[in-house]
Structure 1
């Protein structure tokens, strides 16, 4: 269901990032020892999942996989242990929480109108739904 996807992408994934931010203050020495390992794991995971995004046809799974990639960027930004990485992760979590929920909502609207979430079937929608295509462009570019 679309409401579960919206809550998962908009709230629950960000809750893990917030918990990691709080953990940075509670156990800083433990984080210092393993920060490079977490950066390497999150960047490698983000790269591998982004390769999965390249072969996706279903729009809902594409948005879900891209959310995983974004959270990998959030983790690597926090683990730099730099104030710029910390703020960047914070703003990425806020922006991605808003945009990904709206993208899941757009996928549901598109599914209700066309009966399919496939990118192959739904191509050329700018001719039929120009305002929805504008929303897709704005949300995908800000995501």
Structure 2
């Protein structure tokens, strides 16, 4: 597993060197590899889609971590990575407000890129990557429905 993590771009950085952003990027790479091994076909990573405008006219974007197909089903995957579960689990960060934002971005993705008529669902990949330990990866299929 250590070789796999190194090949996927994980580093053995100290906690002070590891930013939340790089932890998230590493988690997304690990999740993509995990989903591929689960039989999903990855279509896109870190997709930003325009979902509206502010009152001043600035564009507002939604982000989808991973878009994949699980057979004929289009899957929008949110990846949450943490270094510890001392306070809460990674998947608990998917609040109703976050779910609404993901659903809005997914709806826009399906309108712009398609396929609009394909069945779809929202999955969550929860990763706990404690320093010096093997990462724990959990897939929550059909985590929520909009």
Task: Output the TM-score relative to the length of structure 1.
Answer: 0.27
The structure having more radius of gyration, on CA atoms, is: 1
More helix by share: 1
Task: Output the TM-score relative to the length of structure 2.
Answer: 0.26
More strand by share: 2
